[in-house]
């Protein structure tokens, strides 16, 4: 008798609710495995919350892009290898996709064992706006103009002493064929504001300047930004021809909740 008095619509609702619980309960306990792997936070030195496109440490390679591997050494900021050089990562700003890096080989010694220009052939990287170029001339067989004496340094690692200096715009007036006779020149980016500050102070601490590093902008793809905005995580396959976005429950194409088969946006 009791059942007959029970309002049918309510019973229907309860059954629906039970069915809902049964069909959807697995997704509460079962987070997408790839998602929980790449949701891991990675801290190295002073750099916290390291996420896509970086990987290394707790984050396996599939959580990032191949060229953004970070190597963590004890009690130091991470290293990244770009176009033949190791760089110390001094900071990562995920909001404007900028990292500040400094050449690792010039960290302690202005005269590296292996010379090489700093250049980026990776299309994902470009210099930040506060960017200046420093040219280091090594082993120049002539006297450095007195105006540049504060910017000279000496090298000692080849057995014979050598010197070089770094110029700014006014260097143009000293530029001449003799600079071609310096054994090498090496191009290193610096923060323009830091360079000007050092110059104004008449500072001779070139290493201190180089240690401050320079900014590099790494562009995330539009597909990745759409994925992140929907609460998902980008990973190594986000940019491929069949882009995938890692979401809590499963992977989706493009962004969380996007069901491509139906061509409908469920958000």
**Between 29 and 202, CB nearer to ligand NAG:** 202
Q: How far is the CB of 139 from ligand NAG (least distance, A)?
A: 12
Q: How far is the CB of 130 from ligand NAG (least distance, A)?
A: 6
Contacts of residue 265, Cβ cutoff 8 Å, sequence gap at least 6: 257, 258
**Between 128 and 257, CB nearer to ligand NAG:** 128
CB 13 within 8 A of CB 21: no
**Between 83 and 237, CB nearer to ligand NAG:** 83
Q: How far is the CB of 127 from ligand NAG (least distance, A)?
A: 9
Which spans of this chain sit near ligand NAG (rule: CB under 6 A)? Answer: 39-41, 48-49, 93, 96, 98, 115-117, 123, 126, 128-129, 147, 150, 154, 156, 184-187, 202, 215, 217, 219
Q: Which two tokens stand for residue 25?
A: 């309960």
Q: How far is the CB of 237 from ligand NAG (least distance, A)?
A: 19
Q: Which residue is nearest to ligand NAG (CB)?
A: 202
**Between 13 and 48, CB nearer to ligand NAG:** 48
Q: Rounded CA gap, 21 and 135, in Å?
A: 67
CB 186 within 8 A of CB 115: yes
**Between 80 and 188, CB nearer to ligand NAG:** 188
Q: Which two tokens stand for residue 240?
A: 């491929």
**Between 23 and 136, CB nearer to ligand NAG:** 136
Contacts of residue 226, Cβ cutoff 8 Å, sequence gap at least 6: 245, 254, 255
Q: How far is the CB of 126 from ligand NAG (least distance, A)?
A: 6
Q: How many helices (H) and strands (E) does the chain have?
A: 7, 16
Q: How far is the CB of 202 from ligand NAG (least distance, A)?
A: 3
Q: Rounded CA gap, 190 and 213, in Å?
A: 6
138, burial (CB in 10 Å: exposed 0-12, middle 13-18, buried 19+) = buried
**DSSP one-letter code for 225:** H
């Amino acid at each position: 008798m009791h059942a007959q008095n029970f309002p049918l619509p309510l019973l229907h609702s309860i059954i629906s609710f039970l069915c809902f619980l049964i069909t959807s309960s697995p997704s509460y306990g079962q987070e997408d495995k790839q998602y929980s792997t790449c949701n891991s936070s990675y801290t190295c030195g002073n750099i916290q919350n390291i996420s896509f496109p970086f990987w290394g440490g707790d984050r396996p390679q599939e959580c990032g892009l191949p060229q953004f591997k970070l190597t963590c050494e004890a009690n130091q900021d991470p290293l990244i290898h770009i176009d033949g050089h190791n760089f110390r990562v001094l900071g990562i700003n995920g909001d404007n996709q900028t990292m500040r890096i400094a050449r690792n080989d010039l960290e302690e010694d202005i005269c590296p064992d292996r010379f090489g220009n700093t250049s980026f052939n990776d299309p994902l990287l470009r210099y930040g706006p506060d960017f200046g170029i420093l040219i280091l001339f090594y082993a120049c067989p002539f006297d450095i103009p007195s105006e540049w004496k504060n910017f000279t340094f000496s090298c000692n690692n080849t057995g014979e002493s050598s010197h070089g200096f770094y110029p700014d715009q006014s260097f143009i007036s000293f530029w001449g064929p003799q600079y071609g006779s310096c054994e090498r020149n090496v191009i290193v980016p610096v923060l323009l504001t830091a360079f000007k500050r050092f110059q104004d102070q008449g500072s001779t601490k070139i290493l201190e300047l180089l240690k401050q590093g320079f900014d590099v902008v790494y562009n995330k793809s539009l597909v990745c930004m759409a994925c992140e905005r929907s609460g998902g995580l980008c990973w190594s396959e986000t940019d491929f021809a069949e882009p995938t976005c890692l979401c809590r429950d499963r992977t989706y194409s493009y962004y969380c909740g996007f069901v491509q088969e139906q061509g409908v946006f469920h958000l």
